[in-house]
Amino acid sequence: MIEVKNLVKCFGPKRAVDGVSFTVERGDVLGFLGPNGAGKSTSMRMITGYIPMTSGQVTVGGMDISKSPEEAKKLIGYLPENAPSYPGMSVRGFLKFCAEIRGITGSAATRAIDRVVSLCFLDKVIHQNVDTLSKGYRHRVCFAQSIIHDPDILIMDEPTDGLDPNQKQEVRKIIKQMGEKKAIIFSTHILEEVEAVCNRTIIIDQGKKVEDGTPDEIKRKALNAGSIIVGTTGVLASELSRKLEALNGVDKVEVLSDSQQKVSARVFPGAAVAFGSLAPEIYRLAARESWTLNELHTDSGRLDDVFRRITFSETGKAKN
């Protein structure tokens, strides 16, 4: 549904977006990650046709956004950063305007408004002026606007920014639900959100795409991913690490804590060992040695570790 090829945007000498390519199909929810100023918003603005690209190509539903913008924009629902809405209008008036400009009028408009109002929980404020709404409500009003024409493609710039935890949960649920039938791109800073909602993730840094895969795939790239945490009682730390290191396939052992007879350690498997295959070995070792195991689990890696490692350079520190 969305095809982005070699997208470039220059602001003067600065390349804000530098050769980003990806595709999003129907049924995909793509999480767009990156530190502040990485080029997320700029990319989304080009995909929605708000700003022209310096070079590259964006097609949505088979239509080129630069060549037939009006047709392409019909397919897109867009929630800009900061969720703007027209001051001085009521929620209903604003939504009616947004429906009308997309060619939805009369009873179809009424139905569309009713649908988004109940989906975004706006019933209580429907007649209120948008100026008088809280930030969370204003956000939902703009979100409602983006789905009023039930678009095939939904592009959202930080859709959960400024919402309280309950509202965040609701919005995530809506996005996930809609993701089954639509192609969705959304940007966020919140990594848990990506794991909860997305089936694909892209990380961009300094305008370049640095990671592309499912959240699980990316998580595996964390330094700790695949390592095994072992917790025991009544074993000496030195003995534990010696015996674990002697085990086949173990690269190194790091003692994490050692207090009151409780020892826990992190076991790093060698490069050739398949993900998760070392844990049964350790279990059998513990059984042979009659250790009391309190904990044994494979670390599946954390998205924020990967994120930090990849994007550290942006803050001026060296990549590690």
Partner 1 sequence: MNLKPVLTITKREFVTLITSPLASVFLVIFLFGAGLMTFQIGRFFDGGEASLDIFFSFHPWLYLFLVPAIGMNLWAEEKRSGTIELLLTFPIASWHAIIAKFIATWLFIAVALAFTIPYIFMVKGLGDPDMGPIITGYFGSFLMAGSYLAITCFTSALTRNPVISFIIAFVGCFLLILCGYPPITEFLANDLNLAGWVVRLVSGFSFMTHFELMQRGLITLRDLVFFLSTVIFFLFATSFVIRSQRAG
Determine if 11 is a binding residue for partner 1 (CB under 8 A): yes
Q: Are 205 and 33 in contact (CB under 8 A)?
A: no
Kindly state whether residue 81 participates in binding partner 1, applying the rule CB under 8 A: yes
Question: Does residue 57 belong to the site contacting partner 1 (CB under 8 A)?
Answer: no
User: Which one of 24, 30, 33, 98 is in contact with partner 1 (CB under 8 A)?
Assistant: 98
Q: Is the dihedral of CA 71, 25, 39, 77 positive or negative?
A: positive
Token pair of 103 as six digits: 């060619």
Considering the rule CB under 8 A, would residue 160 count as an interface residue with partner 1?
no
Q: What are phi and psi of 250, to 5 degrees?
A: -90, 130
**Pick from 88, 106, 165, 316: which binds partner 1 (CB under 8 A)?**
88
Minimum distance of partner 1 from residue 298's CB (angstroms): 45
- Which range, of 71-79, 172-180, 233-241, 302-310, touches partner 1 by CB under 8 A? 71-79
Among the candidate windows 85-93, 214-222, 242-250, 275-283, which touches partner 1 by CB under 8 A? Answer: 85-93
Q: What are the backbone dihedrals phi and psi of residue 109, each rounded to the nearest 5 degrees, phi first? A: -65, -45
Q: Which residues does 49 contact at the CB level (< 8 Å), separation at least 6?
A: 65, 66, 69, 72, 73, 76
| SS3 state at 30 | strand
Q: Is 38 in the site for partner 1 (CB under 8 A)?
A: no
- From residue 271, how far is each of 225, 227, 278 by CA, in Å? 12, 11, 12
Helix (H, G, I), strand (E, B) or coil at 313: helix
In the complex, least distance from residue 132 CB atom to partner 1, rounded to whole angstroms: 15
Q: By CB under 8 A, which span of 31-39, 93-101, 229-237, 298-306 interacts with partner 1?
A: 93-101
The residue whose two tokens read 């993900």 is: 275
Q: Which is nearer to partner 1, 82 or 224 (CB)?
A: 82
CA distance linking residue 306 with residue 33, whole number of Å: 11
- Does position 104 bind partner 1 by CB under 8 A? no
75/198 with CB nearer partner 1: 75
Report which of 17, 26, 30 is spatially closest to residue 207, judged by C-alpha positions.
17
Binds partner 1 (CB under 8 A): choice among 27, 37, 62, 84? 84
| One residue of 55, 62, 101, 214 binding partner 1 per CB under 8 A | 101
- CB-based contacts of 142, cutoff 8 Å, min separation 6: 79, 80, 83, 84, 85
Residue for token pair 């003692």: 255
Told to check if 86 binds partner 1 by CB under 8 A, we report yes
| 100 near partner 1, judged by CB under 8 A | yes
Amino acid identity of residue 235, one-letter, is V
Q: Using the rule CB under 8 A, is 76 a contact of partner 1? A: yes
Amino acid 122 reads L
Q: Does 108 participate in binding partner 1 (rule CB under 8 A)?
A: no
Indicate whether 234 belongs to the interface with partner 1 (CB under 8 A).
no
**Which of residues 102 and 176 has its CB atom nearest to partner 1 in the complex?**
102
DSSP-derived letter for residue 299 is -
**Which of residues 11 and 275 has its CB atom nearest to partner 1 in the complex?**
11
Instruction: Take residue 91 and report the two structure tokens written for it.
Output: 């929620």
Rounded least distance, CB 157 to partner 1, Å:
9
Residue 97 as a binder of partner 1 (CB under 8 A): the answer is: yes
- List the structure tokens of 320: 């590690």
Site residues, partner 1 (CB under 8 A): 9-12, 45, 48-52, 69-71, 73-74, 76, 78, 80-82, 84-89, 97-98, 100-103, 142, 145
